[in-house]
Amino acid sequence: MINIENIKNIIFDFDGVILDSVGLKTQAFAELFKEFPENKVKELLEFHLKNGGISRYQKIQYFFENIIHREISDGEILKYAKKYSKLTKEKLSNSRHIIKETFDFIKKNQKCYNMHIASGADEQDLLEICDKLKLSQYFLSIHGSPTKKDILVKNILISNNYQNKETILIGDSVNDFEVALNNKICFYGFKNFNYKGFMQ
């Protein structure tokens, strides 16, 4: 049971928690791999929706190694990741995608908690999107992939000397729950009613 009175530090996932971006990112993966068989792409999209907390780099690698069954080099992964960025970054920078419930909470409580973002999204894209949406001002730090979220959260705890029992991760996927569990911090599962995901 979470004792909210003990919480001083909040780490937010981004996609599906702060930004209603899951649908756009799903479309982008479909576009990215449109030259591949439809049934293979569908399998990737199912994996993507079930694993919201992991990065595009991991999903691209998974597609080739576990669905297409061929090796892919780090250079090829980076090439696909850059194409994916072009397909998503501009669309995601539209303020209409901000989830009002979360944003209202952040604005109201920014002086009550130490707030951070740890996301599976590409860090450079994440920083640019947050700047364009004027979200950066609310967070002490913003972190993303290719570093895995497990490590991102661990680094936030260590670099800020946060106590585990005083820290909570707010996410919308099983992966986020596992990250919180691995780092021995509290977890709150966010339900975005516009997205069929973990908290459905």
Tell me the pairing of strands 9-12 and 186-189.
unpaired
Give the span between the Cα atoms of 41 and 50, in whole angstroms: 14
Structural tokens at position 113: 């908690």
Global pTM value: 0.81
DSSP state letter for 65 = I
Q: Which residue has the tokens 């972190």?
A: 143
- What does each of the 200 residues of the chain score in pLDDT, given as a tens digit? 456 778 999 999 999 999 998 889 899 999 999 999 999 999 999 999 888 778 899 999 999 999 999 999 999 999 999 999 999 888 899 999 999 999 999 999 999 999 999 998 899 999 999 999 999 999 999 999 999 999 999 999 999 999 999 999 999 888 899 999 999 999 999 875 444 333 32
The encoded tokens of residue 118 equal: 């740890």
| Fold entry, domain 4-20+96-189 | Rossmann fold (3.40.50)
Domain ranges of the chain: 4-20+96-189, 22-92
